Amino acid sequence: MSNHDYHLIIIGGGPAGLTAGIYAARAMLDAVLLEKGAQGGQVMTTDWIDNYPGFPKGVSGFDLAEQMEAQAKRFDLQVKMATVTKMDLVGPTKTIFLEDGSSLTCRAVLIATGARPNQLGIPGEAQLTGRGVSYCATCDAPFYKGKSVAVIGGGNSAVQEAIYLTKFADKVFVVHRRDSLRATKIVQEKAFANDKIEFILDTVPTEVVGDESGVTGLGLQNTKTEETSSLKLDGVFVLIGIRPNMEMLPLDQLDNDQGFIHTNTEMETSQAGVFAAGDIIYKNFRQVANAVGEGCTAALSAEEYLENNE
């Protein structure tokens, strides 16, 4: 052990990484969590979380992240502000290279670098994120009971989320840039049969409109005629895919699907001594609750690995 800087290095300080850090610190592992920004990850940008257990009245993303961080500190988890640029995960000694030119070694690595939603990049989107602009219908749909919303996108996720939104919203517009959807036929048929959904095809959003109260509308442009129009709305759901935060990952050393890391049920990757949790792994659902569970499992698996490979 003296030949390594740490037993375990956790990369990423979102819910999965912080949970893993809590478990690692409680297990008295010599562990460090590396995070390039504020602790909490994407949850920090979430205005309100209504479906995380233990908070019957809901909790802001900022407050939840702050409480997770405080709990990790209570167990004396080492946290370093650092940007990871690359890694070598092959063999019993893992090496993590940092932006400042230094490097750290360890016997086990837990990757929790997360993912980020693709954005439209149009005026008003960033300013109104968390105030009517959302990237997760499962997370925020209950806030739109009796209201009117738009879903941007035409793939399976977008159309399925549009169907889910009709449980709450009175009207759901699906805006897609092409003349046909990319979702599978069975998903399309279910959406077309829902009288709460209206499709606006061959159209792209040009601006999210809002005021101090939040989103009030959406500017549109037809891709064929270039005609402009607008919708009065209470919310906009941008569902045009997500990207893994993989820039620092040695994907040639890990089994992955377009950057999303494959794991087994114990959060073990294809590389011995390397574990992954949270939105960086290949999975169907990305919620705070399952990220926390995965972080717990990954930390326990890492502890077991370290014990069996002393």
Beta bridge partners of 84: 98
First-last CA distance in the chain: 8
Residue 78 contacts residue 31 (beta carbons within 8 Å): yes
Neighbours of 13 (CB within 10 A): 30
Among 5, 30, 50, 136, the one annotated catalytic: 136
Among 140, 170, 179, 195, the one annotated catalytic: 140
Please confirm, yes or no, whether 106 is among the known catalytic residues: no
Among 139, 211, 255, 279, the one annotated catalytic: 139
Residues belonging to the active site = 136, 139-140
